[in-house]
Amino acid sequence: MIGLLKSPVAGKNTCTVSMPYSWVLATESTDKIALSYKAEVDYGYEFTASNGTATSVQLASSDKVTGSLTSISVPTKTPTDIAVSATI
């Protein structure tokens, strides 16, 4: 899923993603889920033709981070916010 970044504040940014889910629970009181995530930032240069009629973007570098959360109890309500901190 792709999230939209908000404007950076003090060098930090927030990306929120809605992930609809549905499953049948075997044992509602003890079932657990495991969540993982990947965040990526791509940096590039934008070039504009000398006559101003066309632009092109050249990828310069990218930073990636992946992680996972420990297993948590299955959320009983939708939507449920689960905070993840990733530093790139």
Answer yes or no: is 2 within a domain: no
Answer yes or no: is 10 within a domain: no
Residue 27: predicted pLDDT: 84
Answer yes or no: is 59 within a domain: yes
Answer yes or no: is 53 within a domain: yes
Residue 25: predicted pLDDT: 79
**pTM: predicted TM-score of the whole model, two decimal places:** 0.53
- CA-CA distances (angstroms) from residue 13 to 8, 45, 47, 54, 79? 5, 21, 26, 30, 22
> Of 17-26, 42-51, 54-63, which gets the smallest average pLDDT?
17-26
The residue among 61 and 9 whose pLDDT is bigger is 61
Answer yes or no: is 15 within a domain: no
Answer yes or no: is 5 within a domain: no
Cis peptide before 79 (omega within 30 of 0): yes
Answer yes or no: is 51 within a domain: yes
Answer yes or no: is 88 within a domain: yes
Could you read off the pLDDT of 48-78 as tens digits, one per residue? 988 988 888 888 888 888 888 778 887 766 6
> Could you tell me how far CA 5 lies from the centroid of its own chain?
9
Question: In which domain, by residue range, is 49 found?
Answer: 30-88
Q: How many domains does the chain have?
A: 1
Backbone angles phi, psi at 85, to 5 degrees: -110, 125
